[in-house]
Amino acid sequence: MNKRLLTFIGVIAAFLVVAFFKSSNDEQSQKGIPTVGILQLVTHPALDQIHNGAIAGLKDEGFVNGKNIKIDYQNAQADQSNLKTMAQKFINEHAKVTIGIATPAALSLAKAADGQTPVLMGGITDPVGAGLVKSINKPGGNVSGTSGDSPLQAHLDVIKEVVPKAKTLGIIYTSSDHGGTYHAKKMAKLAESQGFKVKLYTIASTNDMQQVAETMANQVDVVYAPQDNGVASAMKTLVNVTNQNKIPVIPAADTMVKDGGIATIAVSQYQIGYQTGKMAGEVLKGKKTATMPVVSVTKGEPVINLKEAQTLGIDLPDKLVQQAKENGEVIQ
C-alpha cells in the first residue's frame, strides 16, 4: 500500500483516538465577550432585512458588536452542505445564542445545538410544522424566536376592498419555496371558505413566470402573490403580463408593491428581525427559550401603489389610502 496514503490514514486515526479520550474535558471556559452566531441561508432582500433588524434589536437591548458581544455572521449562499459546518462552528465557539434566518438555517442550528445552545428563529414560516418548537406558546426546548406568518386574512380583506367584483382568485407561488407553498395553500383554503373560486399556479423557477402568468391572466379576476422568494424576484415580469389584462396583483410584501403590486398590508421583515434580535438580547440577559412564546409578527401597515392603480384604472378605497398615508407607505 502507498506510504503516503498510510501516513494520512494514520494521522487521521491518531487524531480521532486522541479526540475521543480528550472529548470529555473539551469544554473549556469561555474567555472574553460572548459570541452571537447569525446563520443565513442565502443573500436575498427579505432575509438581509431580517439580518439588519436583528442587529438593531440586539443594539436596543444594549448589545453592540465589538463592544460587549462578538457577532459571527455566516451566509451559506444556498449551498446547504455548508450550513452544518457553519452551525457547528458557532457551537464550537461556545456561542451564547444563535439566530437562524430561513428554515434550513434554523434547522441546522437546532440540530447542531442538540438541545443546549439557544436558537432563535428569524421569521420562520411554520415553526411547529418544521419540528422546531413543540408549540407556539410553550416552545419547551432551546428554540424560540419569531415566525414570519403572513396576515392572510388582512390580505384577503384588501383583495375584497380593492376588487369588490372579483370572483376567481389566482394564487401564484414557487413550488420549491417552503414559505410560498405553505402560504399559498393556506390562502386557498381561506379564500374558498369566503366564497372565492381559487386557482393555484406554480413556477419551478423565475424563468417560468412569463408563460405561467400569461396562462393565469386569462383565467382569473385578481392575483395573490404570497411571501415567496421566487415570485418576489420575478414580480416585474408578472405585473407586465397582468397589466395587459388589467388584472391587479395583491402581493404579501412591501417590496413587491414597489415592483408593481397594487396594495397590501405589509409586515416589515426588518421588524421581524428586530423582534428576533430583542429576544436574543433577552436570552443573553438570562431568559430561557423554553418559556419564551414564539412571537408572530403580524401587525402590518397598508402599502399602496398609486401609479399602478392609475395604470389599471382602479380607484383605491379612501380608508385604505388614508391609513397608508398616516402610518404606511404610498408609492407614487
Partner 1 sequence: MSIIVSSIGQGILWSILGIALFLTFRILDFPDMTVEGSFPLGAATAVTLIVHGVSPILASLVAFVAGSLAGFTTGILYTKGKIPVLLAGILVMTACLSINLRIMGSANISLLNQKTIFSNAFLQSLPRYFDMVVLGLIIIVVVTAALIWFLQTELGQAFIATGDNPQMAQAFGIRTDRMTIMGLMLSNGLIAFGGAVIAQSNGYADINMGIGIIVIALASIIIGEVIFGNLSLNERLIAVIIGSIIYRLVLLAVLQLGFSTNDLNLISSIILALAMMLPQFRKALRLDGILKKGVRPHD
Q: Give contact residues for partner 1 (rule: CB under 8 A).
A: 1-5, 8-9, 12, 15-16, 19-20, 22-24, 26, 43, 74-86, 88-89, 91-92, 103-104, 107-108, 110-111, 114, 129-132, 175-178, 181-182, 204
| Kind of pairing between the strands at 143-147 and 222-225 | unpaired
Residue ranges of the alpha helices (H) in the chain? Answer: 3-22, 45-60, 81-92, 103-113, 152-162, 178-193, 209-217, 229-233, 235-244, 254-258, 269-284, 306-312, 318-326
In the complex, least distance from residue 182 CB atom to partner 1, rounded to whole angstroms: 7
Task: Answer for the pair 95, 37: CB distance below 8 angstroms, yes or no.
Answer: yes
- Which amino acid would we find at residue 60? D
- The residue among 94 and 199 lying less far from partner 1, judged by its C-beta, is 94
Query: Beta strands 97-101 and 143-147: pairing type?
Result: unpaired
**How far, in Å, CA of 113 to CA of 119, rounded?**
8
Output the smallest distance, CB 91 to partner 1, in A: 8
Direct distance between the N- and C-terminal alpha carbons of the chain, in angstroms, rounded to an integer = 74
- Shortest distance in whole angstroms from residue 217 CB to partner 1: 24
Q: Kindly tell me which of 1 and 164 has the beta carbon lying closer to partner 1.
A: 1
CB 99 within 8 A of CB 88: no
Please, what is the minimum distance in Å from the beta carbon of residue 38 to partner 1? 12
Task: Name which of 26 and 318 has its Cβ closer to partner 1.
Answer: 26
**Cβ at position 107, least distance to partner 1 in Å:** 4
Report the distance separating Cα 252 and Cα 262, nearest Å.
11
Nearest distance, CB of residue 82 and partner 1, angstroms: 7
Beta pairing, strands 119-124 & 143-147? parallel
Residue with smaller CB distance to partner 1, 119 or 262: 119
Smallest CA-to-CA distance from 251 within 176, 146, 331 is with: 331
In angstroms, give the least distance from the CB of 92 to partner 1.
Answer: 4
CB of 68 to partner 1, least distance (A): 20
Q: Which of 28, 35, 89, 102 has its CA nearest to residue 280?
A: 35
Closest CB to partner 1 among residues 89, 287: 89
Cβ distance to partner 1 smaller for residue 60 or 79: 79
Is the Cβ of residue 89 or residue 138 nearer to partner 1 in the bound state? 89
Q: Rounded distance, CA 131 to CA 89, Å? A: 23
Beta-carbon contacts of 273 under 8 Å, excluding residues fewer than 6 positions away, are: 49, 50, 51, 52, 53, 54, 55, 56, 57, 101, 122, 123
Rounded distance between C-alpha atoms, residue 109 and residue 145, angstroms: 13
